[in-house]
Amino acid sequence: MLECKMPAIVSLGVLNVDFVMEVGKDLIGKKRLGKRISISAGGYGGCQAVAAVRCGVPTAAVGRVGTDIFSYQIEKTLQEEQVDCQFLQETEGDNTGLSAIIAEEGKESVSIDFLGTNFQITKQDIDQCREAIQQAKLVMIYMGPAMMEASAHMVEVANQSRTPVLLTPTLFTGIQTGLWQKVDYLVMNLTQAADLCGLTEESVRTARIAAGMLSGQVRKAIVIHMDKGGVLVAENGILTTLDVMPESKVVDYSGATAFFTGVFGAELVKGNTIQKAAIKAHRAAMLCMEKVGTYASFPTAEQLKRL
């Protein structure tokens, strides 16, 4: 673990409890039998923070949970993972974020999100961790619909102290003009890249077009995690595809992009080059995809060291 009183990374993103339900094909009458169910802390913000900590980088999670039993589940998991929880806030009268993930063999998982208290994050919540943002070596922001305004504010606060910003946008509608110029690293998966281009096809080609569109606007690099197709790094106008893994077995994409982002951010903070960080993050994400679920699929700290 790096020695640092303040967190080296401040992570903003949704905090959920994930209900991962593996559905079987057996039927009893009209009822379908489930194979397994697991309940764990998740959400993009939580997952990327866990990934960064497992890489050995002190990381704080910023977010809001409810006062229900699920908030306990999130805090307990994050604390066990040694994620700094000093910036977690509670909101009464709303549910903690929940995500039902239905995983079925041979099909892409379906997620149903009940974001609850994640919608309650405000600019004031960001201001409360201003000092940590200003002293951090990186902020990782998952810019989802639940926290557009707070995310944009965190970018501003980070920019004031020149803290590098790593941003992952889920949607490209509602992004304010000039945001990209305030971002150092833009991380996406293929779905997000396709959305950016207005295309439906999720391919290396789509990733290149997305990177080409924003290249020169983002300060340092655009990194697109392309599953088996490797990882695309666009830096200084040059697009490079790294670490293609055509033989990988992918069973579930849940949590992989968040874990990718966390590892990528942590490796940058540790002083690695963008390319090295991207390759390690990609390999970690591919390990996530080999198993069903989010938290349960994450590689351990030991596995990450060997990558």
Partner 1 sequence: MAATLKDVAEQAGVSIATVSRVLNDPEKVAEQSRRKVLDAIDTLGYSSNLLAKSLRQDGLNAVYVLLPSLSDPFFAQMHQGISDVLSAYNYFMLSVTTEGDSVLEQECLLKAKTMGASGVLLYTPNDPVPEAWSAFGSSFPILLLSGNSVEGKARMTSLFMDRTGVGKQAVDILFERGKRNILYLCSRPDSLDGECWSGIQQAAEAHGLTCQLYQAGRSPGDAARELEKFWEKADVLPDSILTQSTAQAAGVLSFLRERGIQVPEQTAVMSFENTELACLLTPQVSVIGPAGYQVGMIGAKRLLEWIHTPEEKISCWQEGVDLTYIPRRSTDVRV
> Which residues contact partner 1 by CB under 8 A?
197-199, 201, 205-206, 208-209, 212-217, 236-240
Look at residues 19, 54, 13, 16 and name the one whose alpha carbon lies nearest to residue 34: 19
Interior/surface letters 288-307, b for 16+ CB within 10 angstroms, e for the rest: bbebbbbbbbbbeeeebeeb
Q: Which residues contact 76 (CB under 8 A, 6 or more apart)?
A: 41
Nearer to partner 1 (CB atom), residue 94 or residue 243: 243
Please tell me the distance from the alpha carbon of residue 96 to that of residue 72, in angstroms, as a whole number.
10
Please say which residue, 25 or 205, places its beta carbon nearer to partner 1.
205
Q: Residue 209 CB: number of other CB atoms within 10 A?
A: 17
Query: In this complex, which beta carbon is closest to partner 1, that of residue 29 or of residue 198?
Result: 198
Closest approach of Cβ 250 to partner 1, in Å?
23
Q: How far is the CB of 83 from partner 1 (least distance, A)?
A: 36
Closer to partner 1 by CB, 209 or 245: give it. Answer: 209
Please say which residue, 161 or 217, places its beta carbon nearer to partner 1. 217
Q: Quick one: 16 or 215, whose CB is closer to partner 1?
A: 215
Q: Which is nearer to partner 1, 174 or 216 (CB)?
A: 216
User: Nearest approach, Cβ of 227 to partner 1 (angstroms)?
Assistant: 18
186: β partners: 167, 222
CB of 286 to partner 1, least distance (A): 24
